[in-house]
Structure 1
Amino acid sequence: MPKENPIRPTDEDARALARALIREARFGALAVRDPETGHPYVSRIAIGQTPQGAPLSFVSELAHHTRALRADPSCALLLGEPGPTGDPLTHPRLSLMATARFVPRDAPEHAALAAHYLATHPKARLYIGFADFHFVRFDIQGAHLNVGFGKAYQLQPSDLPGM
């Protein structure tokens, strides 16, 4: 007997939920490959969005994950947190496969990214001007949305904002 595919057809509800998880994220788990050992490495980072809605972070050169992204921009982000009650596995989460793209300070888009980021991360004003901090835009290559038991979707970049 053939196995049933557990991935549901992507519909507008799945797209809307994935977009909401990106829009509402203030932090997430970033997975990179350690440049020295090649092993996976996970770090919690602040998450914002570009004005177009794509995931964005503001990272320090001193952070291990930044050095890893400089060595290999392939990465993954996990967005979505468990609610206050119930099984954590029943709450929606979005795994994004992405390529990190550092935005130079002299890039035309830098000022707009800073203004947009500060609107949702006002405490970043304390370090927005530090020379070792940089914006990183995450260009999504694909995504997996898990809405709970038996509710999984595979999304394409075109299903998500800013792509």
Structure 2
Amino acid sequence: MTMQTLAFEAKQLCRTQHSGVLSTQSTSMPGYPFGSIVPFVTTHTGDVIIYISDIALHTRNIKADSKVSLTVFDPSEDDSQANGRVTIMGDASQLTDDAEIALCSEQYFQLFPQARAYQQTHDFHFYKISVARVRFIGGFGKIHWINPEFWQTESQEWQRNTAGMIEHMNDDHQDAMQLILAHFANVQTSKVTMLSVFAEGAHYQSAEGKIVFIPFANACHSPTEVRQALVAQTKACRDALAETAE
């Protein structure tokens, strides 16, 4: 298995989960790590974005020492030791560029719409964790370090303009998205909204508010490959329905 494949699988796990354990260097207990639960999103290029308050202990710790780690795992699994988890080690810094803030906030608020209310306060800011190294455990015996050159990817033009792709799916392919959510996530709903699309898959939200990430079989590097992946998923759903009906 190549490093690119391992990074692809690790990113899919990160996109499936919406919160992780952020470990910072404690300022009140020097030498000890301080763990806290934070929502996060992973950008197209592999950076991690968190939205945190100035008064939070982890933010104070970051301002004193930017070295952090974020551990991501599936808490619903019975045997956590036998299932996948990812630890992202890196340096956290507050975003100050308006264009970067706008891009990251759009992606973040798509997955965490309730966080928009925090904009009314003046002490919440976006921080980016620039990845130094990743530890990926894909299950028993599948343990790897992933270096930045395999984790980080170059930003592509289509990734900066996914709004049209998402709008098209929401306007014209409601039936296909309902099939995808039912088949791959066992979520039955009267309406589906695509929230985001990445090289690794797409986020959907049901009418009841449940947000689910459905991974692609392979990494997509262009709008054409994304369309092909969605067509393949829809076909798999319809084939499964046909087999059930027989």
- TM-score by structure 1 length? 0.85
Report deviation, 1:144: 0.8
The aligned residue for residue 81 of structure 2 is 89
Describe the SS at the equivalent of 2:125: strand
Question: Are 2:83 and 2:140, in contact at CA under 8 Å, matched by a contact in 1?
Answer: no
- Whole-angstrom CA distance in 1 between matches of 2:44 and 2:132: 19
Of structures 1 and 2, the larger Rg is shown by 2
Unaligned runs of 5+ in 1: 1-8
Which of residues 126, 139, 143 is equivalent to 1:148? 139
- Whole-angstrom CA distance in 2 between matches of 1:32 and 1:74: 7
Equivalent runs, 1:132-147 vs 2, <5 Å: 132-147=123-138
Which amino acid is the alignment partner of residue 98 of structure 1?
G
The aligned residue for residue 46 of structure 1 is 39
The aligned residue for residue 27 of structure 2 is 35
Describe the SS at the equivalent of 1:99: strand
Describe the SS at the equivalent of 1:146: strand
How many residues are treated as equivalent by the alignment?
153
Unaligned runs of 5+ in 2: 155-246
The aligned residue for residue 17 of structure 1 is 9
Identical-residue share of aligned pairs (%): 26
Question: Are 1:10 and 1:153, in contact at CA under 8 Å, matched by a contact in 2?
Answer: no
User: Which structure is richer in relative contact order (CA contacts within 8 A, separation 6 or more)?
Assistant: 1
The aligned residue for residue 62 of structure 1 is 55
Which of residues 68, 73, 79 is equivalent to 2:66? 73
Equivalent runs, 1:96-107 vs 2, <5 Å: 96-104=88-96, 107=98
The answer to whether residue 122 in structure 2 is matched with residue 128 in structure 1 is no
Question: Per residue, is there more helix in 1 or in 2?
Answer: 2
Describe the SS at the equivalent of 1:52: coil
Question: Per residue, is there more strand in 1 or in 2?
Answer: 1
The aligned residue for residue 6 of structure 1 is none
Which of residues 103, 111, 114 is equivalent to 2:102? 111
Report deviation, 1:10: 4.9
Which amino acid is the alignment partner of residue 134 of structure 1?
H
Q: What do you get for the CA RMSD once the two structures are aligned? A: 1.9
- Whole-angstrom CA distance in 2 between matches of 1:51 and 1:13: 16
Describe the SS at the equivalent of 1:44: strand
- Whole-angstrom CA distance in 2 between matches of 1:155 and 1:10: 10
Question: Are 1:142 and 1:157, in contact at CA under 8 Å, matched by a contact in 2?
Answer: yes
